C-alpha cells in the first residue's frame, strides 16, 4: 500500500476507492437541504462534490468554484481537508455561504487548512482576483435561463414558499438572465477560459451540466460545452449522475415523446502541459 501511495500523484485514495470512482455512472440522491441554503434555487449537493474532490486532489490542495452559490464546493473542500475558493456574483448567496462555512469550521473543521473563503465577484472577472494556483475546479453553471421559464418543474415546488428564490437574481451580469442561447454559451465558455488560466498544469475541471429543453427543442448545453471548452482544455471523460428518486410526470403522454430527464453530465477536462 505504501508503494501505491507514493506512486499516486493525483489523490490519496486506495486502489479500491480509485477503481470504484472510475465507473462511468453513479446514483446520488442527496440528503435534504439545510434551511439556510434552501433559498438558492439550484444548489448542488456537497455530499457528491466531496467524492469528486477526493478523487481529483490531495489533502491541502486548492479547489475552486467560480459560481459558488451558497458554497457547496467550499464546504465540501473543507470537509475533505482542502482549501476551498468560491466566487459568487450575488452577495445574498455569498453571505449565506460565509455563514455556513464559519459554522462548520467552528463545529467540525478546526483542523482544516486555512484559506477557504467566498469572494463576491463576477466569474467573468476571475483573472483579476489574483487567486493562488488552483489544483482542481468543480462547478455547475446556470442551465441557461430555465429557472425563468414559466411552469419549469422545479419552480412549481418553490412557488408556494415566500422565502425561496425562484431564480438567481435580476442582475444584468447574471448569466441565468440571458435569453439568447448563443450569447449565454459564449460568456459561459469565457468563464471557463479564465478558469483554465488559473489551473495548474495537468489539473482538472469538472463541469456538472444538463442539456436543456425549451419550446419543444433540446439545446445540447452539455455537448456544446464539451466541444467548445475542449478547444483549450482536453475533455478526458464524463460521468453520468443519475437521480432515481424523482417523480415521473406524464409529459406529452398520448401525443409525443418528452423524456423525464433525471441525469446530469459531469464533464472532466484536464489542462495539459504546454
Q: For 206-251, what is each residue's pLDDT tens digit?
A: 999 999 888 788 899 999 999 999 999 999 999 999 988 888 989 8
Res 146 pLDDT > 70:
no
Confidence of residue 76 (pLDDT cuts 50, 70, 90): very high
Task: For residue 251, tell me if it sits in a domain.
Answer: yes
Task: For residue 201, tell me if it sits in a domain.
Answer: yes
Task: For residue 3, tell me if it sits in a domain.
Answer: no
Question: Residues of the chain with pLDDT > 70: what percent?
Answer: 82
Res 150 pLDDT > 80:
no
What CA–CA distance (Å, rounded) separates 6 from 247? 46
Q: Domain containing 171 — which CATH number?
A: 3.40.50.150
Res 84 pLDDT > 50:
yes
Structure pTM? 0.86
Res 62 pLDDT > 50:
yes
Rounded to a whole number of angstroms, the CA Rg of the chain reads: 19
- Look at 175 and 127; give whichever has higher pLDDT: 127
Task: For residue 88, tell me if it sits in a domain.
Answer: yes
pLDDT of residue 246: 82
Task: For residue 41, tell me if it sits in a domain.
Answer: yes
Task: For residue 42, tell me if it sits in a domain.
Answer: yes
Mean pLDDT for the chain?
85
Return phi, psi of residue 87, to 5°: -110, 125
**Residues 238 and 88: beta-carbon distance below 8 Å:** no
Which range of residues forms the domain containing residue 198? 24-270
> How many domains does the chain divide into?
1
* Structure confidence by residue, pLDDT tens digits, 123-135: 999 999 999 999 9
Task: For residue 6, tell me if it sits in a domain.
Answer: no
Location of C-alpha cell 441525469: 263
**Residues 29 and 245: beta-carbon distance below 8 Å:** yes
DSSP secondary structure, the chain, as one string: -HHHHHH--S-S--HHHHHHHTSSEEE--PPPPPGGGTTSTT---HHHHHHHHHHH--TT-EEEESS-TTTHHHHHHHHTT-EEEEEES-HHHHHHHHHHHHHHHHHT-TTSPTT-EEEES-GGGGGGG-PPPEEEEEE----TTGGGSTT-HHHHTTTT-TTS-SSS-S-TT-GGG---HHHHHHHHHHHHHHHHHHEEEEEEEEEEE--EEETTEEE-HHHHHHHHHTTTSEEEEEEEEE--SSPP--TTTTT-------EEEEEEEE----
pLDDT of residue 179: 86
Task: For residue 17, tell me if it sits in a domain.
Answer: no
pLDDT of residue 1: 52
Res 266 pLDDT > 50:
yes
Amino acid at each position: 500500500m505504501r508503494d501505491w501511495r507514493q506512486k499516486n500523484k493525483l489523490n490519496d485514495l486506495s486502489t479500491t476507492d480509485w477503481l470504484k470512482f472510475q465507473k462511468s455512472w453513479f446514483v446520488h440522491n442527496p440528503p435534504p437541504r439545510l434551511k439556510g441554503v434552501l433559498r438558492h434555487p439550484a444548489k448542488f449537493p456537497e455530499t457528491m462534490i466531496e467524492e469528486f474532490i477526493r478523487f481529483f486532489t490531495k489533502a491541502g490542495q486548492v479547489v475552486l468554484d467560480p459560481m459558488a452559490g451558497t458554497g457547496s464546493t467550499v464546504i465540501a473542500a473543507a470537509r475533505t481537508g482542502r482549501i476551498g475558493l468560491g466566487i459568487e456574483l450575488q452577495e445574498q448567496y455569498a453571505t449565506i455561504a460565509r455563514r455556513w462555512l464559519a459554522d462548520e469550521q467552528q463545529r467540525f473543521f478546526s483542523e482544516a487548512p486555512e484559506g477557504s473563503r467566498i469572494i463576491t465577484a463576477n466569474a467573468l472577472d476571475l483573472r483579476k482576483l489574483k487567486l493562488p494556483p488552483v489544483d482542481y475546479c468543480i462547478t455547475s453553471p446556470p442551465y441557461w435561463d430555465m429557472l425563468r421559464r414559466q411552469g419549469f418543474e422545479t419552480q412549481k415546488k418553490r412557488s408556494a414558499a415566500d422565502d425561496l428564490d425562484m431564480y438567481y437574481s435580476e442582475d444584468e451580469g447574471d448569466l441565468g438572465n440571458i435569453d439568447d442561447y448563443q450569447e449565454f454559451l459564449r460568456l459561459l465558455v469565457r468563464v471557463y477560459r479564465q478558469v483554465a488560466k488559473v489551473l495548474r498544469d495537468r489539473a482538472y475541471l469538472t463541469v456538472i451540466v444538463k442539456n436543456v429543453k425549451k419550446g419543444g427543442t433540446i439545446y445540447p448545453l452539455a455537448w456544446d460545452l464539451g466541444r467548445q471548452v475542449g478547444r483549450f482544455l482536453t475533455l478526458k471523460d464524463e460521468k453520468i449522475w443519475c437521480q432515481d428518486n424523482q417523480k415521473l410526470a406524464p409529459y406529452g403522454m398520448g401525443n409525443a415523446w418528452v423524456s423525464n430527464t433525471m441525469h446530469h453530465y459531469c464533464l472532466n477536462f484536464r489542462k495539459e502541459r504546454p
